[in-house]
Every structure is written in C-alpha cells, then in structure tokens.
Chain A
Amino acid sequence: MSTPTIFRLTSLHTRYQFTETIRVPIAVIGTTLFPSLSLLFFVVPQPFAQDPRQATAAAAQLAIFAVMTVCLFTYGVGVAEDRALPWDGYLRTLPVGPLPRLTGRLLTGLAFVVIGLVPLVLIAWLATAATLPISRLAMTAAALLAAGVPLFALGITIGYSLSTRAAMAVAQSLLMPLAFGGGLFVPPNMFPGWLDAISRCLPTRAGRDLVVTATAGTDVAGTSVLMLAGWTVLTGSLAVWAYRRDQGRRFR
C-alpha cells in the first residue's frame, strides 16, 4: 500500500466527523429541527403563508437561519469543545495537515444543513404556498452556499480563538441579533428606517437578500453582493488567523 492521498484522508476525516456527530442524535436534532419548527409554528398559521412570494421568502430566511445555526454551533462551539480534548492534540500528531480535517468538518456541517433543510422544504411545500421552480433550484442552492461562507468562517474563528464556554456565549449572543437584524425572522420591509440601515451592514441580511432574490428569480442588488464579499474576506482572514495561532490549549 502507499501513503494515503489527500482525498483518502479527507474521506477518512469526513466519515469520522459524521459518525462522531451522529452518535449524539439529540445535538443534531436540536440544531437541525429548530428552523422547521419555526416555520411550522410561526409561519404556517399566518395568513401570508398562502401568499407564494411571502411564504417562499419566509422559508428562504429560515433556511439561512438553519445554515447559521450549524455554522455557529457545529463549527464554533464544536471546534472549541474538540480543541479542549486531549484527542484533538493526538490528531495533530498524526500525519495529516489541516486541509483534510477542515474539509471533513465542512462536509459534515453541509450534510447536517441538508438534513435540517429537508423537513423545512417539505413543510414549506406541503403547508404553505411557497414555490420554487426547478429552474431556480440550483441558483438558490448556490446562493445559500454563498450566504453560508462568511458564517462558516465566523464559526471557525470562534471555535479556534475561544474556550468552550466563551464560544458558547459568543455563539448564542451572535445568533439572535444576526437572525433578527438580518431579517431572517421578520422580513426587512417591515423594519423602521434606522433598523434597516443597520441591517444592510450585516452578513445575514446580504445573504438573505441573495437567497430571496434567487428564489424569486429577480435581480440581486449589487450592494448585497459587495457586502457579502466584504464579510467573506473579513471573516475568512480572521478564520485563517485563528487557525494559525492555535496550538491547542493555552496552557501546558
């Protein structure tokens, strides 16, 4: 046999991450079910659930919320927890670089995002007037992915720069402001002017605009794309910095 290739190592780490995460089902259910339940309880009973445009936007917003939950908790808190364990130090003595491990994490998170989106899409399809023509499916998935990149980088930054407790506190205090402020729960056209101005500076708002316009097939605002790109560069740099400075725990 030969030295494992980077592909074999990536597949190895993806399987390992996935298995380890799925063995604690309650953690998976907690992060993946909340967006679907929000749709079921807060959107389905409302009159606007029967308006195709508004219902589709509501489902798209909650889809971003699902992505953000996985990013902040699976990546943010999960990475911080792993780093505190001696097992993580052991993994760093194995002949594997950061790329297969990070890719494994990324793919595992992606799998759980998909698992979380399945009930959400089913509920939106069966119980609301939301529609998404097949022709816009790929564009919507791409928009969701693009909206998720800065959130992923934010999670990685939190995970690699903070202790478990601090990561939990930061993730929780970021989740709700980013969700409300980004218009994931209440559509931004209901915001007062000052809130809308703040909202436009948030990565979640830019991502939300991108995904909602992708589902509607309308043109996306250039400012949203710029804002998302800016956040991607900023959080991406922070994530690389946090990963590089990490040497396991801060004490011996």
Chain B
Amino acid sequence: MEILARTVHATRRYGPVTALDGVCLEVPAGQLLGLLGPNGAGKTTLLQLLAGLRRPTSGTVELFGGDPRMAARRRRLGCTVQETGLPPTLRVHEIVDFVGGHFANPVPTAQLLDQFALTGLEGRQSGGLSGGQKRRLAVAVAFVGRPDLVLLDEPTTGLDVEARHLLWGAVHHYHQGGGTVVLTSHYLQEVEALAERVVVIDQGRVRADGTIAEVRALVPARRVRLNAPDLPPLAGVESSSRVGDRYELWTTDSDALLRELVDSRVPFRDLEVARASLEEAFLALTSPSTQTLTPTPVEMAR
C-alpha cells in the first residue's frame, strides 16, 4: 500500500523543550487516523512537520515521497487553518477561490460552500461570519484542492453539535471516497466512531498505535463498580479506588474477577460492569498515576 506520509525518528526541540521525541509513523493511503494526546503532547508539532511548516531537529519527514518543505510535495495535501485565522476583510468566495487557485482541479466554489452549509454567504467578509461559520470555512478550504491527504487539527473545537455532525459527515464522505485523513480532536467519542487507527502521543512520544480495540487492550479495559463494607485483596484487580462503601475496580478480565468476588463471599451489592471507552483507555495511558499499570506501552506500540 502506498505510504502518503512518514516520519522516521522525528525529533523536534524548541530550545530546552522536546516537543517530539523520536516519533516513527506511517500513514498509508485510505486510512482515517486519529491522533490523541493531552494538550502539549506534540500532536500539533507532528502535524506541522508533516505539512512542511517546521523542520525536524533530527530524523526525517516525508510527504508523498519527498520533503514536505518543497511546494511540489504539497500538491495533494489539504490542511485546515488551525485557529479561526481567516483574513477578516476577504469575502468568503474570495478565500475559497484563492486557495483553490493553487490546485490543478479545484472543487467549484459553489459546490464546496454547499457541502459545508455556507451557501448564501459567498459575498460576506469572513470577519463578519459567526464562529461556527468561520470554523466550517476554515475546514472547507482543506478540501478545495481535491487532496489525497488532509490534516485536520481540532476541526470541531468550539462548534455546536449540529455543526460538528455536518463536519464529521464531510470527513466521512471524503474518507469513503478513498481520502486519507489524519486528525486530532478533543471529542474522543467521535474519533472512536470514525477512526480506523488511533495513535496516542504523550510527552512527544508515541504511547500506543493500533486499532481502537488494540489501544483499549493496552489498559485495564473493564471497570467494575460495587458497594461492599470491605474487600479482601483480589488477584484480578489492576487498580482500585474507594469512596465510602463504593469501590471502583479496573481489570483486564471482569469474568475472572467476578468469580473471585463470589468465591470470597464478600456481601457486595449494586454491581456494575462496563467496558472502558476509548476516552478512559486514553486517560489511563496518558495520566502519570496509572502509567505504572502499563509499564511498557512504548514497546507495545510497535
């Protein structure tokens, strides 16, 4: 399969701060990849390296087989404006026409505006748009050049539910048509619903890389809650917390833990067993307190 973008041991430092630390990543054609990680983890720096905005301090970055800092390598790339940083005095159609003018076969402006529910706003200066309209326009321009790869940095931040649905619909549609997507988002449920592959980054390193099921398997994936006066030590518990009589236990095998509980004859009640969401799995991977539970996540990422 064609690899559209690749980093090999990419490290990026800003003075004493290491934003990315030896990241190896390959983005094959047709994949929808979700980048997850807390703020400051290095997600944005990684996207900036892929888009040619920054050089790696060491290591290499490839986009369509070459250096992304060369303009010709970016002909099949689409990016969003990260913040709502559109030129305020330009009109909506001027911005779309201008960006589209860089590509061989741009999507007609009217069609693109229709897809992002911006029809009727062509003549409006972008500074006069609402926050949601600006955000949709900022994402829409990523698609105007019919790119093979789009990098979407927090595309839905600050949007209401309806606008988020619209954007995810557009991303989904693009992906169905064979497009490749690398995206970051705070809305983990949405990443969980759309992404085929998840890469978790923390402190500049890849902590986990795999399907959603694989990432979930890296952490205690089952949560058992129950009320009990006092619990004896249980072998299947990876971590636990207690508020009054209410226990929260994390385990990789809830069936075995339940058998153990029953055998111990503890008088428990209000039992709840739940599968961890990606969000919980992700928090477990990146929060310092629980990292001891998964001592070698970096190795598992390979």
Binding site for B on A (CB under 8 A): 1-4, 8-9, 12, 16, 19-20, 23-24, 85-87, 89-90, 92-97, 247-248, 251-252
Contact of B99 (CB < 8 Å), options: A19, A94, A252: A94
Contact B102 A87 (CB under 8 A): no
A3's closest neighbor in chain B, by CB?
A: B104
Q: Please report the C-alpha to C-alpha distance between residue A93 and residue B182 in the assembled complex, in whole angstroms.
A: 15
B99's closest neighbor in chain A, by CB?
A: A94
Question: What are 18 A-B interface contacts by the 8 Å CB criterion?
Answer: A9-B102, A12-B101, A16-B94, A19-B94, A20-B90, A23-B90, A86-B85, A90-B81, A90-B85, A92-B52, A94-B71, A95-B75, A95-B103, A247-B54, A248-B53, A248-B54, A252-B45, A252-B48
In whole Å, how far is A19's beta carbon from the nearest beta carbon of chain B? 7
In whole Å, how far is A86's beta carbon from the nearest beta carbon of chain B? 3
Contact B14 A251 (CB under 8 A): yes
Q: Please report the C-alpha to C-alpha distance between residue A86 and residue B84 in the assembled complex, in whole angstroms.
A: 8
* Chain A residues whose CB sits within 8 angstroms of the CB of B74 once the complex forms: 93-95
Q: Please report the C-alpha to C-alpha distance between residue A180 and residue B87 in the assembled complex, in whole angstroms.
A: 36
* Chain B residues whose CB sits within 8 angstroms of the CB of A12 once the complex forms: 98, 101-102
Flag B115-153 by CB within 8 Å of A: 1 or 0 each.
Answer: 000000000010000000000000001000100000100
Interface residues of B in 73-111 (CB under 8 A from A): 73-75, 77, 79-83, 85-87, 89-90, 94, 98-99, 101-105
In whole Å, how far is A18's beta carbon from the nearest beta carbon of chain B? 11
Contact B98 A16 (CB under 8 A): yes
Q: Please report the C-alpha to C-alpha distance between residue A35 and residue B134 in the assembled complex, in whole angstroms.
A: 39
Q: Which of B94, B99, B102, B141 has the most CB of A within 10 A?
A: B102
A-B pairs with CB below 8 Å: how many? Answer: 84
Contact of B81 (CB < 8 Å), options: A1, A24, A87: A87
Interface secondary structure of B, over-half rule: loop
Q: Please report the C-alpha to C-alpha distance between residue A31 and residue B109 in the assembled complex, in whole angstroms.
A: 35
Q: Assign chain B's interface to a size class.
A: 35 or more
* Chain B residues whose CB sits within 8 angstroms of the CB of A247 once the complex forms: 53-55
A15's closest neighbor in chain B, by CB?
A: B98
Q: Please report the C-alpha to C-alpha distance between residue A96 and residue B71 in the assembled complex, in whole angstroms.
A: 5
* Chain A residues whose CB sits within 8 angstroms of the CB of B89 once the complex forms: 20, 23-24
Q: Please report the C-alpha to C-alpha distance between residue A3 and residue B44 in the assembled complex, in whole angstroms.
A: 29
Binding site for A on B (CB under 8 A): 14, 19, 44-45, 48, 51-55, 71-75, 77, 79-83, 85-87, 89-90, 94, 98-99, 101-105, 125, 141, 145, 151
Contact B90 A96 (CB under 8 A): no
Contact of B51 (CB < 8 Å), options: A9, A16, A86, A93: A93
* Chain A residues whose CB sits within 8 angstroms of the CB of B82 once the complex forms: 86, 89-90
Q: Please report the C-alpha to C-alpha distance between residue A111 and residue B46 in the assembled complex, in whole angstroms.
A: 39
Q: Please report the C-alpha to C-alpha distance between residue A2 and residue B77 in the assembled complex, in whole angstroms.
A: 16
Q: Please report the C-alpha to C-alpha distance between residue A65 and residue B80 in the assembled complex, in whole angstroms.
A: 40
In whole Å, how far is B67's beta carbon from the nearest beta carbon of chain A? 12
Contact A87 B87 (CB under 8 A): yes
Contacts A19-B94, A24-B89 given: A92-B72 contact, CB under 8 Å?
A: no
Q: Please report the C-alpha to C-alpha distance between residue A97 and residue B102 in the assembled complex, in whole angstroms.
A: 11
Q: Which 6 A-B pairs have the closest CB atoms?
A: A86-B85, A23-B89, A93-B79, A97-B71, A95-B74, A93-B51
In whole Å, how far is A69's beta carbon from the nearest beta carbon of chain B? 21
Contacts A93-B77, A95-B74, A247-B55 given: A252-B14 contact, CB under 8 Å?
A: yes
Q: Please report the C-alpha to C-alpha distance between residue A45 and residue B80 in the assembled complex, in whole angstroms.
A: 56
* Chain B residues whose CB sits within 8 angstroms of the CB of A2 once the complex forms: 104
In whole Å, how far is A25's beta carbon from the nearest beta carbon of chain B? 10
Contact of A8 (CB < 8 Å), options: B19, B85, B90, B101: B101
Contact B71 A95 (CB under 8 A): yes
Contact of A95 (CB < 8 Å), options: B85, B86, B102, B141: B102
Contact B75 A93 (CB under 8 A): no
In whole Å, how far is B179's beta carbon from the nearest beta carbon of chain A? 17
Contact A1 B104 (CB under 8 A): yes
In whole Å, how far is A167's beta carbon from the nearest beta carbon of chain B? 19
Contacts A24-B89, A95-B75 given: A89-B103 contact, CB under 8 Å?
A: no
Q: Please report the C-alpha to C-alpha distance between residue A85 and residue B71 in the assembled complex, in whole angstroms.
A: 20
A94's closest neighbor in chain B, by CB?
A: B102
Q: Please report the C-alpha to C-alpha distance between residue A89 and residue B85 in the assembled complex, in whole angstroms.
A: 10
Contact of B105 (CB < 8 Å), options: A1, A85, A86: A1
* Chain B residues whose CB sits within 8 angstroms of the CB of A86 once the complex forms: 81-83, 85
Q: Please report the C-alpha to C-alpha distance between residue A79 and residue B103 in the assembled complex, in whole angstroms.
A: 25
Q: Which of A1, A24, A93, A96 has the most CB of B within 10 A?
A: A93
In whole Å, how far is A5's beta carbon from the nearest beta carbon of chain B? 11
Contact B19 A252 (CB under 8 A): yes
Q: Which of B81, B82, B86 has the most CB of A within 10 A?
A: B81
Q: Please report the C-alpha to C-alpha distance between residue A95 and residue B53 in the assembled complex, in whole angstroms.
A: 12
Contact A87 B77 (CB under 8 A): no
B78's closest neighbor in chain A, by CB?
A: A93
Q: Please report the C-alpha to C-alpha distance between residue A96 and residue B125 in the assembled complex, in whole angstroms.
A: 24
In whole Å, how far is B173's beta carbon from the nearest beta carbon of chain A? 22
